[in-house]
Amino acid sequence: MQELRKEKMSTLLEIKNLHAEVEGKQILKGLNLTVRAGEVHAIMGPNGAGKSTLAAVLSGKEGYTVTAGTALFDGADLFALEADERAKEGLFLAFQYPVEIPGVSNINFLRTAINEIRAYRKQEPVSAKDFMALVKEKSKLVELKDNLASRSVNEGFSGGEKKRNEIFQMAMLEPKLAILDETDSGLDIDALRIVASGVNKLKNAGNAIVVITHYQRLLDYIIPDFVHVLADGRIVKTGDKSLALELEEKGYDWINTAQKV
């Protein structure tokens, strides 16, 4: 009994029967997923299955309409919150395709973000000194070059630098739940190791990570507790880390076939 309640309390994300469409097209078709504090979930699945759509719906991107289902984030109704409020509550999305924002400096906007989040949580704004110390510490974590932190957001960054910048921002914001959408794609082998070890250092018993990936390779570094297969808008199979190995070997066809039977 005691045990059960504890487990329930530490549920960070609970998605039930999620249906969502974009531009009139049904993409998510009854998706269920529960993520508890301390867990790492991997979501794999074929191109166009709806993985990024799930991330977009959860983080509140406009144009995505939830037609059925619910999502509780740390007990709160996620879909009742604006995108920025979700971030303020501790949700983070590392974008598959981070946008370039010329003229907006990486660290200035992060400082604005941190102070808005702190105000939301009724905390004092961070001092310039503390903030710079934080930038220094966190950019080290993902070995982000000094000048990248102060440049315009992602402008002229290489593909790999953009991905590192996403994790740098995650480190700065210390979210409760981070969704990493193909953070591994575009990273060279060394960068993959650095970014993965950064993520591992940020992981603790109180937070959780959902990694969306196509490659088992990332999961050698960030070891998942669960591996899900998302196909045609649903989680069609869930297993442990060995499922990723199996998928690497056999692809997705066998799962679909198995379902049809």
Partner 1 sequence: MTTALVSEKLAAFIAPFEIPSNVFQKEAYDNLIQLDFPTTRNEYWKYTRVGKIQNSKLKIQKETKLTADVLKPFLSAANFIVLENGIFRADLSHISVEGVKVDVIKPAFISDETKFNSASQQHLFTALNATYFSELISISVAEKTVMNEALQLLVVTSGNAVFSNPRIVIDVHKYADAKFEASYVALNADGAFNNVVTAFFVAENAHVVYDKIQNENNPGFHISTEEVAQEKNSRFKINTMTLDGALVRNNINISVNGENCETHINGAVIAKETMHVDNHTFVNHRVPNCFSNENYKYVLDGKSTGVFNGRVIVQQHAQKINAYQKNANILLSDFAQINSKPELEIYADDVKCSHGSTTGQLDDDAVFYLQARGISKEKAKKLLVAAFIGEITEQISSDEVKKQVNRILAEKHDWML
Instruction: Using CB under 8 A, list all residues that contact partner 1.
Output: 59-62, 82-84, 86-88, 92-93, 95, 98-99, 101-104, 109-110, 112-114, 116-117, 120, 152-153, 169, 173
Q: How many CB atoms lie within 10 A of CB 83?
A: 14
The option from Mg ion, partner 1, ligand ATP, none interacting with 59 (CB < 5 to 8 A, set by class) reads partner 1
Q: How many CB atoms lie within 10 A of CB 96?
A: 18
Residues 6 or more apart in contact with residue 194 via CB below 8 angstroms: 142, 143, 164
Coil, strand or helix at 58: helix
- What's the min distance (Å) between Cβ of 96 and Mg ion? 5
Residue placing its CB nearer to Mg ion in the complex, 51 or 88: 51
- What's the min distance (Å) between Cβ of 210 and ligand ATP? 13
Query: How would you class 80 by CB atoms within 10 Å of its CB: exposed for 0-12, middle for 13-18, buried for 19 or more?
Result: exposed
Residue placing its CB nearer to ligand ATP in the complex, 164 or 234: 234
- What's the min distance (Å) between Cβ of 194 and partner 1? 22
Number of residues that bind ligand ATP (CB under 6 A): 14
Which residue in 5, 6, 23, 249 binds ligand ATP (CB under 6 A)?
23
Burial 163-193 (b: 16+ CB within 10 A, else e): bbbbbbbbbbbbbbbbbbbbbbbbbeeebbe
Furthest-apart CA atoms within the chain: distance in Å: 62
Residues 6 or more apart in contact with residue 168 via CB below 8 angstroms: 138, 139, 141, 142, 144, 149
- What's the min distance (Å) between Cβ of 28 and partner 1? 18
Under rule CB under 6 A, residue 52 binds ligand ATP: yes
Residue placing its CB nearer to ligand ATP in the complex, 28 or 107: 28
Contacts to ligand ATP by CB under 6 A: 22-23, 25, 27, 45, 47-53, 63, 96
